[in-house]
Amino acid sequence: MNETDLKKILRDLTWQEKVGQLIQLSGDFFSSEDALTVGPKQKLGITQEMVDLAGSVLNVAGASKTREIQEKWLQKSRHKIPLLFMADIVYGYRTVFPIPLGLGATWNPELIEQAYKVTAAESKAAGVHVTFAPMVDLVRDARWGRCLESTGEDATLNAAFARAMVTGLQHVETGKITGIASCVKHFAAYGAAEGGREYNTVDMSERRLREDYLPGYQAAVDAGSELVMTSFNTYDGTPVTGSEFLLKQILREEWGFDGVIISDYAAVQELVAHGIAADEKEATLLAMKATNDIDMKTGCYAKQLEPLVQEGKLDPGLIDEAVWRVLKLKNKLGLFEDPYRGASSERERKVLLTEENRDLAYQVAAQSMVLLENKNNTLPLAKNEQKILLVGPYGDNQNLIGLWAIHGNTSDVITIKEAISQHVSASKFSYSAGCEMPSDYHFLGEFGGSKEQLERMPLAERKQALAEALEQGKQADVIIYAMGEHTMQSGEAGSRTDITLPDVQKEFIQEMLALGKTNILVTISGRPLVLTEEANQMDAILQAWFPGTEGGRVIADILFGEINPSGRLSMSFPYTVGQLPIYYNGFQTGRPLNSETHKGRFVSKYLDSPNAPLYPFGYGLSYSNVELSSLTLDAEEMVDQLHVSVQIKNNSSRGGFETVQLYVQDIVGSVVRPTRELKKFKKVYLKAQENTAIHFTLTREDLFYYTKKMDFTVEPGDFNLFVGLNSRDTLSASFTLK
Ligand code: GLC
């Protein structure tokens, strides 16, 4: 529709119709049985008339369902304004990829762009118009359950993935969104919740906000994300959903974002709980003045916008501007011409979970898993040479897709047990669960969980399970432990203070270690767990995350050497939970461990823990033996560019991927500067015995930062430059910026 006609619709809308476009309701409001909608309406205190005018739907997917609702809707809509279907499709629709913390570990934005293109195609076939993704919150605290959804702790890496995910999802061709609209979230700095406690306060300097936390969102906006979702947290004392500084000044005025801003779930109403609004009316005013366009799942906008205008407290133009942004989005998606965007059951059958999509999920999972330990080259295992016992609650478990894969089917997942059995003969392989997941399921909370989930296995059964595992372990040469956290122990509202393996699993491991076999741990988790004990006990450790639909197969293929693991951590693994928050690019402090002037006690350290993480940012092992040498800069002084090269040699008979990482240190700044910052990275495939050079070009813009005066610029001076296969073990050089 051309904008003239669209403007005409806007002009013709009644107030109620305008307000309706700014409301998002969940699927239960759109049930065909009215009786089912009475409760939800009462809970929000809104009328059926307002429900009938709502502009968008939360988390309904499936071609037949979305078509049914849309059809019914358009019959009632005076201007035939289609509904917008928005859903949480964060790392896959029916084909589920690894969780984003695993995607970050691929260091391969180009591959992830393909994954999100597939995700968009599947979602579009299912009638979804907008996905609440990518989530680009920078994370430094593994206690926070939503590390799961983030690509990690580094602004440069997060920005690269943000761009790739938005581009893959929207897949714009000749100016048209041929995929689905992306909604980057959660703006802003939600990942910095104090103590890693969910929904907790966020407070930091504007410098840190801009330097570390905003680049991911800005990259998504610059890549054309059509929507932005506000976050639950405060920043500098103001909840983001009511923050004119963040939403108007930074997002709209500085970055020029003219798309739709949608609140997170009930976040408008929560301005009252935050204590920044006395009631829903004040909350509505704050959110609308901050230019938050859509109120997700509360009655605030529905009940308060019109009274605020009538009382002269709210400029009606703000409502028109918000409605205009929503109508433009619907128009951009072509909904006025085709309210279904080609969604149909037939299309779903054609594009969902195809062999190609499964294969892509396999490739992504293969590049996401991180080999953390491999003592004496325990891995890869030879086939049918040793007797293998698989134990642990994830051994024969299809729950490998993680908390936010709400439209995926665990029934599509090949279990680790099934996948291993395809590598070895039955005479060489056995399985025994051995122990429960956690010892108690209190964390299921209101999700309830099935009755048997809520109760422990009876003691006799627990003893029996252990006895069987021990008996089978005695016959085995190698024991593979498929361990980790329950799906519901991470993700939203999954903050935890003890992020070691569950006690019941640790106790079981202790019993099995006594058998003196070769021990291999595979960890399934939505966050970095504290694996310090296991690092000492195990011969090998493979971090598998929640690896998605193809995860079980990939784990087996890595264990048996079909895949050479290439994942590199995008988030530090702490030595102990007491180190958190921990991240690689911190400041030197006045008394660094290697201080020249202070020795022993009086330096920046803990009395009871190392400062260093157990496994650092960028770290991971492979089955190859790769080394870097001959780091060369093309000049000692840099004006506009600096050309950097390094030699990389694969001293093994195995081809594989490696990620070469380039960091810089601005030695003296007008404010303190990180000891190292990732600026460039390249993931390369090296054939057996390949010896080649890797080249980088560093530009002045790469060295920009927020100076003491908060100017985003660069300051001449001396720099150190580091190149390595992780953030810790690096070659170094130095240069002077003129
Ligand atoms: C949730 C999450 C957000 C999600 C939204 C809609 O509370 O914070 O990530 O997109 O609600 O389900």
Q: What is the DSSP string of 164-194?
A: HHHHHHH-EETTEESS-EEEEEEETTGGG-G
CB atoms within 10 A of CB 210: 20
Atom 7 of ligand 1: nearest residue by CA position: 265
Token pair 């310090």: residue: 532
Do residues 534 and 509 lie in contact, with contact meaning Cβ atoms separated by under 8 Å?
A: yes
> Closest ligand 1 atom to the C-alpha of 88?
10
Pocket mutation for ligand 1, best pick of 25, 58, 88 (most atoms within 8 Å of C-beta)? 88
Question: Which of 393, 400, 369, 402 has its CA nearest to residue 506?
Answer: 393
For residue 229, the SS3 value is strand
pLDDT band at 451 (very low <50, low <70, confident <90, very high): low
CA–centroid distance, 517 to ligand 1, in Å, is: 45
pLDDT surpassing 70 at residue 454: no
Residue 558 has pLDDT above 60, yes or no: yes
Residue from 59, 132, 296 to probe ligand 1 pocket by mutation (most atoms less than 8 Å from CB): 132
Q: Report the predicted TM-score, pTM, of the whole model to 2 decimal places.
A: 0.97
Distance CA 581, CA 274 (A): 24
Q: Return the axis-axis angle of helices 355-368 and 109-125, rounded to nearest 10°.
A: 140
Question: What mean pLDDT is predicted for residues 487-502?
Answer: 95
Q: Which residues, listed in sequence order, are joined to residue 548 by a DSSP beta bridge?
A: none
Q: pLDDT-based confidence at 440, cuts 50/70/90?
A: confident
Q: Residue 553: which of 23, 98, 212, 79 has the closest Cα?
A: 98
Cα(256)–Cα(209) distance, integer angstroms: 18
Q: Whose CA is nearest to atom 8 of ligand 1?
A: 264
Give the whole-angstrom CA distance, residue 385 versus residue 520. Answer: 16
Q: Which atom of ligand 1 is nearest to the CA of 296?
A: 6
Q: Are strands 23-26 and 295-296 parallel, antiparallel or unpaired?
A: parallel
Domain with CATH 3.40.50.1700 in the chain: 365-570
Q: What span, in angstroms and rounded, lies between the C-alpha atoms of 650 and 504?
A: 41
Say whether 264 is catalytic.
Answer: yes
Q: Is the pLDDT of residue 300 over 70?
A: yes
Q: Where are the beta strands (DSSP E) in 29-102?
A: 56-58, 84-87
For the CA of 183, the closest atom of ligand 1 is 10
The rounded Å distance from CA 133 to ligand 1 centre is 10
* Superfamily, domain 365-570: Glycoside hydrolase family 3 C-terminal domain (3.40.50.1700)
Q: Which CATH superfamily is domain 3-349 in?
A: Glycoside hydrolase, family 3, N-terminal domain (3.20.20.300)
Say whether pLDDT at 131 is over 90: yes
Q: Which of 186, 200, 265, 495 to mutate to test the pocket of ligand 1 (most atoms within 8 A of CB)?
A: 265
In the chain, CATH 2.60.40.10 sits at: 624-737
Side-chain-side CA neighbours of 260 within 13 Å: the count stands at: 34
Query: Across residues 141-150, what is the average pLDDT?
Result: 98
Provide mean pLDDT across the span 601-618: 97
Say what the pLDDT of residue 447 is.
63
The rounded Å distance from CA 390 to ligand 1 centre is 36
pLDDT at 56 over 80: yes
Q: Which atom of ligand 1 is nearest to the CA of 186?
A: 9
Rounded CA separation 593/605 (Å):
7
Q: Whose CA is nearest to atom 6 of ligand 1?
A: 265
pLDDT one-digit tens code per residue, 228-273: 999 999 999 999 999 999 999 999 999 999 999 999 999 999 999 9
Choosing from 264, 270, 294, 446 the residue with most ligand 1 atoms within 8 A of its CB, the one to mutate for a pocket test is: 264
Q: Which atom of ligand 1 is nearest to the CA of 232?
A: 8
Query: Is the bond preceding residue 186 a cis peptide, omega within 30 degrees?
Result: yes
Inform me whether the pLDDT recorded for 34 exceeds 80.
Answer: no
β-bridge mates for residue 86, sequence order: 58, 130
How far is the C-alpha of 240 from the C-alpha of 395, rounded, in Å?
Answer: 42
* Average pLDDT, integer, range 684-705: 98
Residues flanking ligand 1, CB < 6 Å: 59, 88, 132, 185, 264-265, 492
Q: How far is the CA of 549 from the centre of ligand 1 (A)?
A: 22
522 Cα: distance to centroid of ligand 1 (angstroms): 30
- For residue 450, pLDDT over 80 is answered with no
Which residues pair with residue 615 across a beta bridge?
573
Instruction: Tell me the per-residue pLDDT of 516-538, one tens digit each, with 9 for 90 and over.
Output: 999 999 999 999 999 999 999 99
Q: What SS3 state is found at 311? A: coil
Q: For residue 446, what pLDDT band results from cuts at 50, 70 and 90?
A: low
- Nearest C-alpha to atom 12 of ligand 1 is from which residue? 88
Distance between CA atoms of residues 290 and 101, nearest Å: 31
Spatial distance between the Cα atoms of 499 and 147, rounded to a whole number of angstroms: 12
58 C-alpha to center of ligand 1: Å? 10
472 CA to centre of own chain: 38
Burial class (CB in 10 A: 0-12, 13-18, 19+), 664: buried
How far apart are alpha carbons 210 and 200 in whole angstroms? Answer: 20
Catalytic residue, candidates 88, 137, 154, 264: 264
How many C-alpha atoms does 502 have within 13 Å on its Cβ side?
23
Query: What are the φ/ψ torsions at residue 296 (nearest 5 degrees)?
Result: -85, 110
pLDDT digits (tens, 9 = 90+) for 315-354: 999 999 999 999 999 999 999 999 999 999 999 999 999 9
- Find, among 257, 268, 271, 173, the residue nearest to 217 by Cα: 257
> What mean pLDDT do residues 61-81 have?
95
**What pLDDT does residue 537 have?**
98
Tens-place pLDDT, residues 456-486: 788 999 999 999 999 999 999 999 999 999 9
At residue 335's C-alpha, the angle toward residues 288 and 227, to 5°, is 35
Ligand 1 nearest-atom number relative to CA 132:
10
Distance 487 CA to ligand 1 centre (A): 17
Q: What superfamily would CATH give domain 624-737?
A: Immunoglobulins (2.60.40.10)
- Determine the average pLDDT of the residues in 150-171: 98
| Distance between Cα 148 and ligand 1 center (Å) | 14
User: Other C-beta atoms within 10 Å of 39: how many?
Assistant: 10
Mean predicted confidence (pLDDT) in 371-395:
97
